[in-house]
Structure formats: structure tokens, C-alpha cells
Chain A
Amino acid sequence: EPEVTQTPSHQVTQMGQEVILRCVPISNHLYFYWYRQILGQKVEFLVSFYNNEISEKSEIFDDQFSVERPDGSNFTLKIRSTKLEDSAMYFCASSEAGLGETQYFGPGTRLLVL
């Protein structure tokens, strides 16, 4: 069964460094998302992406963050100048269509900012 994959599974970085989290959505899906989950907290929406542009973003998704679909398969989240509070599990998700459709999540990337 097709699934969303994410790399790396774990990333440790120093505060102030840039990180890029990678995702390969399910191949026939058109909508892509990033969520994050700070340890012990609930999952929070960051951004949704469709047709090569951001369709919605949350208040968390500030200028520090950016997303890109550099080719036909990858979907990336870049965090510039990481902060301690960026430490979290980052989940990529994809769906075949947008509103009202099932979103399938990847296994996550655990980011630790020191």
C-alpha cells in the first residue's frame, strides 16, 4: 500500500542552523501538508500546499519556514535559523483531494535543536 515517507527520521542541529526536512507524498496525491507535534502536546497544522503554492498557513508558519516541491516527488520543509522551541516531531501528510479528504501521514522527523 502506498505510503508517505520522510527523511531523516531524526535530526539534531545547533540553534541558528538551517534544516531541511524531506517528504515523498503518495504519488497520485495533489495536496501536501506539514504538521508538527511538540513533545507531549497535540499535533499542530503548519502549512498546506497545492498546485505549487501555499494554500493555507498557520500563525506558526512565519518567515522562518518555507516549503518547496523541488521536483515531481519531493516536498520539503526548510527551517531557517532554528530555535530551541522548534524541537518537535514534524509530520508530512498528503491527500488525493483537498477539503474533506483523508490525509495520510508520514512517520515523522524528530528534530532536536540544541
Chain B
Amino acid sequence: SQQGEEDPQALSIQEGENATMNCSYKTSINNLQWYRQNSGRGLVHLILIRSNEREKHSGRLRVTLDTSKKSSSLLITASRAADTASYFCATDGRETSGSRLTFGEGTQLTVNP
């Protein structure tokens, strides 16, 4: 299995609704980061949550981390059409040397106006 697996793979919602994306990982981590990628573009950092944190907020974003279940969720509230993008979680594993990030497959979010 891959470190950092997101589900669902694709999510389609209406503007104004909330979007929840989940990420699971296999090994112990130092932190988990969420990134956003518009089609064919670069990765935009959204939020970093450390292994000793359980929840973090940034604007309309809420991230939770459950290290006992090795999972994280990203909640986008009051979604907008401009939130349409792919969302990736990335882990910075304790069991790897250095600081490489291991990315998941991503969730493609479509917000319909």
C-alpha cells in the first residue's frame, strides 16, 4: 500500500456545500501537509499539521489528524467554484531519512456553480 492515500478519488459538490477529503498513511510521521493543484499547475501549500496536533484551522479549511488511525481529513467549508482542484496529502515520515515528502494519489474536487 502507498503512504498517503486519499479518498475519495473524485468528489463533485455544489457551491456552498462542504467538501471533506480523507487521507490515510502507513508509517509514523512527523507532520502531514495538504496541497492543492489546479489542473496542470504547481502545488500550493494549504496547511501543515504536526503529529502532536489534532486539529488545525486556516480560513475555510479545517484539518484533523488522528495518529492512532493514521488518517487525516481536510474539510473545505462553504465551497466555491474556485476551489475546484486536486488536493493531495503529503507525509514527512519518521522512518525515512531526510525530509522527503510522500504524496498520495489525490482527490479531484469539482465544485459546481
Binding site for B on A (CB under 8 A): 31, 33, 35, 42-45, 48, 55-56, 58, 89, 91, 93, 95, 98-108, 110
Contacts and interface: CB of A to CB of B under 8 A. Distances in A.
Given A45-B101, A102-B48, A107-B41, 12 more contacts: A33-B101, A35-B101, A42-B88, A42-B103, A42-B104, A48-B99, A89-B40, A91-B42, A99-B98, A100-B50, A102-B33, A105-B42
A105 B100 contact: no
B103 A56 contact: no
B105 interface: yes
B98 A102 contact: no
Interface residues of B, number: 27
A48 B99 CA distance: 8
B42 A98 contact: no
B100 A48 contact: yes
B42 A103 contact: no
A56 B42 contact: no
Contact of B30 (A31, A99, A104, A106): A99
A58 B44 CA distance: 23
A55 B97 CA distance: 9
A103 B33 contact: yes
Contacts of A98: 98-99
Interface of B: 2, 30-31, 33, 35, 40-45, 48, 50, 88, 90, 92, 96-106
B105 A91 contact: no
A54 B5 CA distance: 28
Contact of B45 (A42, A56, A103): A103
Contacts of A100: 30-31, 50, 92, 99
20 contacts: A31-B99, A33-B100, A42-B105, A43-B90, A48-B99, A48-B100, A56-B96, A56-B98, A89-B40, A95-B99, A98-B98, A98-B99, A99-B92, A100-B99, A101-B99, A102-B45, A103-B45, A104-B45, A107-B42, A108-B41
